[in-house]
Amino acid sequence: MFGVMDVTRAVLPAMRARRSGVVLNVSSGAGVFTLPMLSSYCASKFALEGFSEALSYELAPLGIRVKIVEPGGVPSTRFVERSAEEARQTAPIADYAPFVDGAGRLFAELVQARDGATSEGVAHVIFEAATDGTDRLRYLGTENIAPLVAARRQTSEEAYIALMRSRFAPRL
């Protein structure tokens, strides 16, 4: 997050001088909805979403557009495998096992429902966002997260929380 802020701070003087430009940040589905066992990752992506949206309001009058691309799981990045490798380096906590299992099931579903979730597909969405000339803020980078994004953005808070708890909350 701080790296994104530093780079943005570095390029803005030139964009302000030209009264044009595009700031494009790659977020994640985890910046829209949260998943257990990824709290730090989700927090960083929520921060990126908030930073980018606020910046879009500040920069629009200066002719500078801000875009956010929100991809989901892309198997070629090995995110799930790398996360699992990191998790194995710490002793498991039994109380969290149901959350780990639920997150694992969801990741498996996302990988199976790839729906074009490739690095090339995400690059195409990034290119579209950078060059479409619109003021649109958010772009879904992969279709495999569309149901979770819709649950977050198009249902009530209560319905969304109930859905997520049903997927992950331990049954005690």
Burial of 90 (0-12, 13-18, 19+ CB in 10 A): exposed
DSSP secondary structure string, 12-68?
HHHHHHHT-EEEEEE--GGGTS--TT-HHHHHHHHHHHHHHHHHHHHHGGGTEEEEE
Summarize pLDDT for 76-89 with one digit per residue, the tens: 555 656 666 666 67
Decide if 5 is inside a domain.
no
- 103 near 168, Cβ under 8 Å? yes
Decide if 10 is inside a domain.
no
Cα separation, 94 vs 161, in Å, equals 23
Number of domains into which the chain is organized: 1
In this predicted structure, what is the pLDDT of residue 145?
Answer: 87
In this predicted structure, what is the pLDDT of residue 124?
Answer: 95
CATH number, residue 131: 3.40.50.720
Decide if 97 is inside a domain.
yes
Decide if 6 is inside a domain.
no
- Asked if the model's pLDDT at residue 115 lies above 60, the reply is no
**Element holding 70 (H helix, E strand):** strand 64-70
In this predicted structure, what is the pLDDT of residue 65?
Answer: 98
Summarize pLDDT for 34-89 with one digit per residue, the tens: 888 788 999 999 999 999 999 999 999 999 999 999 998 765 555 656 666 666 67
Domain that holds residue 31: 20-168
Decide if 110 is inside a domain.
yes
Decide if 8 is inside a domain.
no
In this predicted structure, what is the pLDDT of residue 66?
Answer: 98
Decide if 2 is inside a domain.
no
The whole-model pTM stands at 0.82
- 116 sits in the region (left: phi over 0; alpha: psi -120 to 50; else beta) called left
pLDDT bin (cut points 50, 70, 90) of residue 103 is confident
Decide if 7 is inside a domain.
no
